[in-house]
Amino acid sequence: MVSMMKTEVEAKFTSVDHDSMRKKLGEMNAALTHPMRLMKRVTIDSPYMKSKDAFLRIRDQGDKTTITYKQFDELSLSGAKEIEIVVDDFEHAVALLAAAGLEHGSFQESKRETWKLDGVTIELDEWPWLDPYVEIEGLDEKSVKDVANTLGFDWDKAVFGDVMAAYRVQYPHLGPKDTVGNLPEVKFGAELPKFLQP
C-alpha cells in the first residue's frame, strides 16, 4: 500500500486577498481551470490512522468526488502522502464506508477556485472562521517555490500540512491536538466554535 502513495509537494500562504490574487494571476496569463465552488467533505479516523497522523476523506469537489487516505509524515513541503480514488457519488461513498464501520466524525464545507501557472496548481481556498488563503502544489520543490516567488509570496511565511496549519497561524493559541475535525459540522455562517476563541 505504501508504494502506491503519492507525495504532495505543496505550500500554503495565509491571509491572502483573493481578488488581488485573481488580478495577478490574470496578468500572468494563468489559466482558471475551475471557478470558485462549494465543496463538502467528511473525515474519518481511527486509532490506527491517528497513530500515523492520517485520516480518510470523502470529498465532493464540484466536478468529481474522491476518497482519499492522507498521511502527514512531517509538516514540510513534501511531508504529505496520499492515495486517492475517484468515485461516482458522495452520499453513496459515505454510506458504503459507514456500513463497513467507518462512520465520519465531521462534515465540513469549504470553497475552492483552481488556477494553473507553469504546470503548477494554485488553489484559492476559503474555510469557515478562517481568512482566505492560497495553496500552491507542484511536482517538485523548485516549481512550487518559483511560482510562489512569481506571485510575490514570502517563502519564509509558507506553512505546511493540512488546513489546520492555516488555522494555527490565525489562532495561535491552538494546540497540536486542536482541530476542526473534532467538530460535528464545519459550515459557513456558523457561530465561531469555543475552541477557536482565545
Q: What band does 109 get if pLDDT is binned at 50, 70 and 90?
A: very high
Element (H, E) at 150: helix 141-150
- Provide the residue type at 67 as one letter: I
Write down the pLDDT at residue 141.
94
Q: What band does 3 get if pLDDT is binned at 50, 70 and 90?
A: low
* pLDDT above 70 (res 105): yes
* Per-residue DSSP letter, 49: H
- Provide the residue type at 189 as one letter: G
Nearest residue to 153 (alpha-carbon basis) of 127, 135, 169, 172: 135
Q: Which domains does the chain have, with CATH numbers?
A: 8-196 (2.40.320.10)
Nearest residue to 49 (alpha-carbon basis) of 41, 37, 57: 57
Give the C-alpha distances (Å, rounded to integers) separating 17 from 25, 31, 65, 124, 160.
Answer: 12, 19, 28, 9, 19
Write down the pLDDT at residue 157.
97
Tens of pLDDT, residues 50-100: 898 899 999 999 889 999 999 988 888 888 899 999 999 999 999 999 999
63 Rama class: left (phi>0) / alpha (psi -120 to 50) / beta:
alpha
Nearest residue to 114 (alpha-carbon basis) of 181, 55, 166, 63: 63
* pLDDT above 90 (res 144): yes
The neighbour count for residue 124, using CB atoms within 10 Å, is 21
